[in-house]
Structure 1
Amino acid sequence: MAGTATANDPRNVLRWFIQYLVQRKLCTLEGLRRVALFQGGLDTRIGQLAAIRGYLDARDIVRILMEQADSDLAFGELCVRHGLMTPAQRDDLLRLQKDQFLLFCACMEWAGTLDPDALGRIRREFLDHLAASTERPRPPSGGFPAVEAQPRSAASVRDVLRKVREVAALPEMVQRTLAVLDGADADLDVAARVIEADPVMATQMLRIGNSALFALRGRVTNVRKAVLMLGARGTRQVVLSTAAAGAFAKVGGDCGRRLWTHSILAGRWAAALARARALSEPEDAAVAGIVHEFGTVVLHQYFQGEMAAVERAQARGTSEREAELEAFGLTHAEVGAFLCQQWTFPARVVESVLHHHALPAKLRALNRLDPLAKVVNAACRLADLDPDRFPHEWIALLGEEFVAYHGLTADLLDQLAPDVRRQAEELTSILG
């Protein structure tokens, strides 16, 4: 009958494998539950699987997104063409996409249920057992077609990225300022002159420079003094925060206001956590927090029909990620990271934007993750919490796995929250 699972169907093999694990007490039910939860939240697009396998890092993923804006080739093909993956690695990922049994085995390793050596031995024993049985389905002998699964065609992903690239340029003054501030040889005097030429930016620089946000010594009376006292990274933070305020305002309505309030809080939480973790350059954390929703902003501005469809799908119970993949072939996090790369933001900021919604299990499974991305991921969740609740209530709402992964405690949140809230309110009053 059409649609009936055959003996060689990997779904049948997977069912037998789970039964095999349980009957021989090779894995606990709790361990299997963790694997199921991990696999249920797993993004099985080839770039995401490649990151977990360790074939790609965030910069590689965004580099290929940049290439996709000008190519009809699938993601995996572009990776091979640019030497980021071998054909064998690409084919390994394509098999994971098609074969639920192989994917489940990989998820057992990634979720930490079994170590790779034990898993390899158990898998070999199971397949030998399966091959010797006349009553159980045999594992597929010829494998499955290596066809890259994509929610939408490479051409449609290209069209989305190309339009984003064309319409979402930073204001010229912001681009010039960032270019001057980029690198170890940042020229603060030139940056000050560029900012002085823009009355709005100059005013905001003075207002923020004289606020308690940076706690500068003495009153700041001119832009040059503000820039010199803030330094390159502090000045970059102010310039981008001001530009972000204008971008969020263009979305308009409750949506724009909600995104802006969330982003300000995320920026302050990210900076506070970065300092608490003694990370270098907490200003980068603040910038990543402020800009992490830029992908959402751009999609709302220039793809209104598609975003309306995303919202309708979410109202029906579809996850945000699934709805965005159906509409765009991309998530707003990927669009945001694409923009940050286009604007030549620091690589750690790009990575933080890319992973800001990732679950702890996914972050833990990644072979390479900048500590800043971990901080920003936590900050984005903290920014959504009800400020009227107590820190111990926040801990309960965040969940045991999230709290353990990020090393959060009620005492830490209680210590950081007052300054975070005060700084966010002050920044909102200045930037609008």
Structure 2
Amino acid sequence: MTVSHLVIPGAAVPTTPAATPSSDLEAVLSSIDTMAAQEPTAAQIVSMVDSDDTDARTLARILTSDVALAGRVMKLANSAYFGMRGRVTSLQVAVTVVGFPTVRTMATVALSGLDDESRLPEGFWTMSTTVALAAATLAPRFGQRPQDALCLGLLAPLGVALLHHGDREGYAELAAAEPTAAGRRAAEVRRYGIHAFRLTAVALEQWGFPSSMVTPLGAVDDHGSQDGALLRAALEVATRLTVEDHVPVPVEELTGGQLGEDAVVAVLDRVRAEADELRVAMLGE
């Protein structure tokens, strides 16, 4: 099959078939449309695109229909990341603390089944939360909001979960053979005709997420593009913390000189200290 129907604006997506695709990407993408029926509250939140038209009271009222999701929002609001440990006692305040984009991200996690670790590749949430915290910590250096960067980092691996779900054994072999993020993306293109980040971008675009969430995913391999610079830096930080024997790539090269190695040390320390708590909050453990 071809992937010409998966084109993302501004991204160089392959237009030739993968050599031996072992899962039907059209089926993967069509499954995105059926997820809403299984998680109606999460789907309603995801569909509320314009945050300016949604206040905290309305969002809290909708969240009360899903006890598990509401509990995760409360736990995240009381986490170290938001600096409100133990002080948030109402759902409306929790929504205000974490913000609409984060609630929507958490709803997307529930909608797409990312809150069930048994269905995900090993270490999925360790990498996801590490990338998210690294992106949020580095965001001001790139003129971006930490909250938006946190959401991007949390959702970036969605495509990994979709590919793994459709080709569990094959994707496990691919991931074991390619421990680095860049190597894995190249292997994904060879096997499926598209890499996981671009598949994430397709899903987010289909769900109505803004271009600020979609564009960096398509630009992650274009080192000449500043759109993907923050995500590239965050991925490098996460890889240094989670992949044994990783050979560091200078962040100056990944960010077009926007970030130097001197800025990475403090980021590594913070991410190492807080990533596990963020994972627990996102999964409601």
Tell whether the structures are fold-level matches, with TM greater than 0.5: yes
Matches within 5 A, 1:180-329: 180=48, 182-216=50-84, 219-240=87-108, 246-247=114-115, 249-252=117-120, 255-256=121-122, 258-279=123-144, 281-304=145-168, 306-307=170-171, 310=174, 319-329=183-193
Rounded Cα–Cα distance in structure 2 between residues aligned with 1:200 and 1:410: 40
Rounded Cα–Cα distance in structure 2 between residues aligned with 1:158 and 1:246: 19
Deviation at 1:273, TM superposition (A): 0.8
Is 1:335 aligned with 2:199?
Answer: yes
Matches within 5 A, 1:167-182: 169=35, 171-180=39-48, 182=50
Superposed CA RMSD: 3.9
Normalising by structure 1, we get a TM-score of 0.54
Mark the structure with the bigger radius of gyration. Answer: 1
Deviation at 1:400, TM superposition (A): 7.1
**Partners of 1:244 and 1:291 within 8 A in 2:** no
In structure 2, list runs of 5 or more residues that go unmatched.
none
Match of 1:426 in 2: 277
Deviation at 1:355, TM superposition (A): 3.3
Match of 1:363 in 2: 223
Match of 1:160 in 2: 25
Deviation at 1:251, TM superposition (A): 2.5
SS across alignment from 2:81: coil
Match of 1:7 in 2: none
SS across alignment from 2:80: coil
Higher RCO structure (Cα 8 Å, ≥6 apart): 2
Rounded Cα–Cα distance in structure 1 between residues aligned with 2:243 and 2:170: 35
Rounded Cα–Cα distance in structure 2 between residues aligned with 1:231 and 1:183: 9
Rounded Cα–Cα distance in structure 2 between residues aligned with 1:345 and 1:299: 20
Normalising by structure 2, we get a TM-score of 0.78
Deviation at 1:407, TM superposition (A): 3.1
Rounded Cα–Cα distance in structure 2 between residues aligned with 1:269 and 1:311: 22
Deviation at 1:272, TM superposition (A): 0.8
Deviation at 1:181, TM superposition (A): 5.5
Query: Which of 251, 266, 277 pairs up with 1:415?
Result: 266
Deviation at 1:376, TM superposition (A): 1.2
Deviation at 1:383, TM superposition (A): 0.4
Identity across matched positions, percent: 23
Query: Which of 234, 247, 261 pairs up with 1:379?
Result: 234
Deviation at 1:243, TM superposition (A): 5.9
Rounded Cα–Cα distance in structure 2 between residues aligned with 1:288 and 1:334: 13
Aligned residue-pair number: 275
> What letter matches 1:163 in structure 2?
V
- Change over 3 Å in CA distance of 1:195–1:320 after alignment to 2: same
Rounded Cα–Cα distance in structure 1 between residues aligned with 2:238 and 2:205: 24
- Change over 3 Å in CA distance of 1:378–1:161 after alignment to 2: farther
Match of 1:141 in 2: none
**Partners of 1:245 and 1:260 within 8 A in 2:** no
> What letter matches 1:382 in structure 2?
V
